Homo-oligomer: A and B are copies of this chain.
Amino acid sequence: MRVRVLVRLKPGILDVQGAAVKRALAGLGFAELTDLRVGKVIEVELDASTPERARERVGEMCRQLLANPILEDYTLEMVDDLAPRGAVR
């Protein structure tokens, strides 16, 4: 079972990475850019009897370790296949 966790800074917390990347892209001429935020994606593969169970366990991992509740929110997404689909190499 594969679960994708997106960990992002909570709204209102200064995203130093995002701000710097945004500035850099603007400098490269991407004037149409209005906002950019950087977060983490954690792709988890685990044995679980049902998708619900998988989601539950990964949620537990987030609470215990993957996300820092003081700074970050997280969302879970179930994915069939974590191999980068249409990945550009």
**Chain A contact residues, CB within 8 Å of chain B:** 6, 8, 10-11, 18, 21, 24-25, 28, 30, 32-48, 57, 59-67, 69, 73-75, 82-89
Are the CB atoms of B74 and A87 closer together than 8 Å? Answer: yes
Q: Which residues does chain B contribute within 8 Å of A28, judged by CB atoms? A: 61, 64-65
Query: In the bound complex, how far is the Cα of B88 from the Cα of A73, in angstroms?
Result: 6
Task: Report yes or no: B65 in contact with A88, Cβ–Cβ below 8 A.
Answer: no
**Distance (Å) between the CB of A6 and the closest chain B CB?**
5
Are B44 and A41 within 8 A (Cβ)? no
Bound-state CA distance A34–B60 (Å) is 16
Does A34 contact B39, Cβ atoms closer than 8 Å?
no
